[in-house]
Amino acid sequence: MAVNGEAAQGDCIQLAHGGGGALSQRLIRQWLMPALAPTSTALHDAALLAAAGGTLAVSTDSFVVKPLVFAGGDIGRLAVLGSLNDLAMVGARPLALSLGLILEEGLPMATLERVIASIRLACEQCDVAVITGDTKVVERGHADGVFINTTAIGEVEQGLVLSPLAVRPGDAVLVSGDLGRHGLAILAARPELGFRTTVCSDLAPLQPTVQRLLAAGLRPHCLRDLTRGGLGGAIDEIARDAHCVIELDEPAIPHHPAVDGACALLGLDPLTMANEGRMVVICPADQAEAALALLRAEQPSAARIGTVIKPMQIGDAVEALHPVKLRNALGVLRPLDVGRGEQLPRIC
């Protein structure tokens, strides 16, 4: 794809444009944002809207996971928690949810029944209601069974600002648990790959964890749920919007041993494996220990994995290309490359 939004003859959309890596960022920053949001803004999980009496948060997401059912969840639960987790990343409590269903001709009614039941149970768990929606049916072979779009609306605590723009040099970088379980669960659910594991997706609501952090008096600067593109895609995006260089301690980044084994076997990068119940927490250094203790009370594998080092140097081409660095066990620094390919299509 050509730069500056000018398409060269033969340019076309690739699966990797939806994978959360470098091509996803290029699609958004060079094609979508200049046309639809010409005012410079940081990319975040939800948008904030001023409203009478407070601030509303709005997030929308589409879910095209394949297969529809996997160890630890299904597309229905994923669609609800995916959008509500986006609200949690700006500190919002959910108020309502919309639901759009695209159903493929030939979908078994038993499958639809399971998906709708999962949606209902997830909404009950998170104390939110579906208040509006839409249903469409497309021809056989055009939707992989079910595609779902959800839009979530929430209310933000007065005065609370969680944003990449709030990130400062010296901040600590934490993750809320071991990474890559969702990507591994989807991988194992595809019979054509012949891969098996007992690991389930980490799919879970993040709202309770965020509210416990805030109730403890902690004020993170930025939160980000680690979905497609994994930790690598998320931290690279945060660094670019914050205009800061971030250094990660590679040995400190927690992965389930099965994730490391699968990635080594299949040539995948564990840093870009998808998650659906994990987040990165960037907070002032003097709050890091308290935040980490709270996170470990829920997930013992939570860890402090890095530091925001310094502002990006204007005109430094290397920092502009790779604002995140990885320090290995020998102390050697290397740039984080979020990749241009698609590791695992249809993970969310």
Q: Which pLDDT score, from 0 to 100, does residue 36 have?
A: 76
Range of the domain at 201: 164-335
Question: CA 100, 102, 105 angle in degrees (round to 5)?
Answer: 155
Q: Same domain, yes or no, for 100 and 196?
A: no
Residues in the chain, pLDDT under 50: 1-3, 341
Same domain, 88 and 193: no
Task: Mark whether 277 and 136 lie in a shared domain.
Answer: no
Same domain, 188 and 315: yes
Is residue 21 domain-resident? no
Please check whether residues 245 and 267 belong to one and the same domain. Answer: yes
Residue 189 and residue 62 share a domain? no
Q: Quote the pLDDT of residue 47.
A: 87
Q: Which burial class, exposed, middle or buried, applies to 218 when counting CB atoms under 10 A from its CB (0-12, 13-18, 19+)?
A: middle
Strands 324-327 and 244-249: parallel
pLDDT of residue 248: 98
282-334 confidence digits (pLDDT tens): 999 999 999 999 999 999 999 999 999 999 988 887 788 899 999 999 999 99
pLDDT of 59 reads: 95
CATH of residue 105: 3.30.1330.10
330 and 287 assigned to the same domain: yes
Domain boundary among 156, 186, 221: 156
Residue at a domain's end among 132, 156, 180: 156
Pair 226, 142 in one domain: no
Q: What is the pLDDT of residue 341?
A: 46
**8 A C-beta contact, residue 343 and residue 269:** yes
Q: What is the pLDDT of residue 206?
A: 98
CATH number at residue 223: 3.90.650.10
Residue found under tokens 């597309």 = 75
Domain check: are 79 and 129 in the same one? yes
Does residue 268 lie within any of the structural domains? yes
pLDDT of residue 1: 42
Task: Based on the fold, state whether residues 318 and 177 are members of the same structural domain.
Answer: yes
Nearest by Cα to 20 from 304, 262, 272, 322: 272
Give the residue from 137, 156, 175 where a domain finishes.
156
Q: What are the pLDDT digits (tens) for 58-84? A: 999 999 998 999 999 999 999 999 999
Q: Look up the pTM and report it.
A: 0.87
What is the per-residue pLDDT for 28? 67
Looking at the fold, whether 125 and 201 belong to one and the same domain comes out as no
Nearest to 91, CA basis, from 165, 163, 166, 41: 163
Residue 15 lies in a domain: no
Question: In the Cβ-directed half-sphere of 218, how many Cα atoms lie within 13 Å?
Answer: 27
- What does the pLDDT read at residue 25? 66
On whether both 204 and 317 belong to a single domain, the answer is: yes
